[in-house]
Amino acid sequence: MQGQLLQYDLALALVKLKRELQADADFYIARERELIMKYAVLDDSGNVRLTPQGTFLFKDPAQGADYERDRRELGETDAGAAPAAYKAKAPAEAKPYWIEALRGFIDFEGEI
């Protein structure tokens, strides 16, 4: 939705929501990076070696299950209080995944 022209109230609600969630997003990004650095093959410069598909290679392929467990635990970590739900007029058109992603964060007026 970043590049979409939106009604002002919806655009403002999205900007406020992004600001409110940014610290949580930064937390998860940093912790996920730490997990990848723990399990991934690194190049001579200390960077993660990626496959052509954009995934990383495991130092030890047998650790795949450990990585998945640690990543799942990270995803279950509560980073803080849930943000307040913002109110906005429902857009005339929306993709279903937008509605699902924003549910609980933005209360659309006139929503069924």
> Residue 58: is its pLDDT beyond 60?
yes
Averaged pLDDT for residues 79-108? 85
CA–CA dist 94, 87 (Å, integer): 16
**Hey, where are the domains in the chain?**
8-109
> Residue 112: is its pLDDT beyond 80?
no
Are 88 and 22 a contacting pair, CB within 8 Å? Answer: no
Are 39 and 58 a contacting pair, CB within 8 Å? Answer: yes
| Model confidence pLDDT, tens digit, residues 20-38 | 889 888 999 999 999 999 9
Pinpoint the alpha helices (H) of the chain.
8-39, 64-75, 96-102
Averaged pLDDT for residues 83-109? 87
> Residue 53: is its pLDDT beyond 90?
yes
Q: What mean pLDDT is reported for the chain?
A: 89
Type of residue found at 80: G
